[in-house]
Amino acid sequence: MGTFAGALAARKIEVDNGKVQAHARGEVENEGGTLIIRRIHVHLKLAAPESARETVERVHGMYAEKCPIYRSLIPAIQITTSYELIAGMKATG
């Protein structure tokens, strides 16, 4: 989430005060009695105006390649992301 938020902030999209939230879901498989994480899906929610959608779409399409966690895990675990732009989402924090 930090790399995504940082890329948005660099493009003048406000990300402070809980305006960006991430929810991750992992899928585990049993391999010879050992649980192995095989897939992770991260859903990002962003409180921003509709006018920011094009920029958010571009950032979403490229930020993972600059994310150290993504780059570290992707050789072993399938990682997917999605985002949701929510104009009325209440910020937390």
Amino acid letter for position 19: K
Supply the pLDDT for residue 87: 80
Pick the CATH number of 2-85 from 3.40.50.2000, 3.30.300.20, 3.90.25.10, 3.40.50.1860: 3.30.300.20
Min mean pLDDT across 28-37, 59-68, 83-92 is at 83-92
**CB 81 within 8 Å of CB 65:** no
77 compared with 1, residue with greater pLDDT: 77
Mean pLDDT of the chain: 92
Sorting pLDDT into bands at 50, 70 and 90, what band is 42? Answer: very high
Please give the model's pTM, rounded to 2 decimal places.
0.83
**CB 37 within 8 Å of CB 77:** yes
Supply the pLDDT for residue 88: 60
**Sign of torsion, CA 46 47 50 51?**
negative
Beta bridge partners of 20: 46
The domain ranges of the chain are 2-85
Amino acid letter for position 48: A
90 compared with 49, residue with greater pLDDT: 49
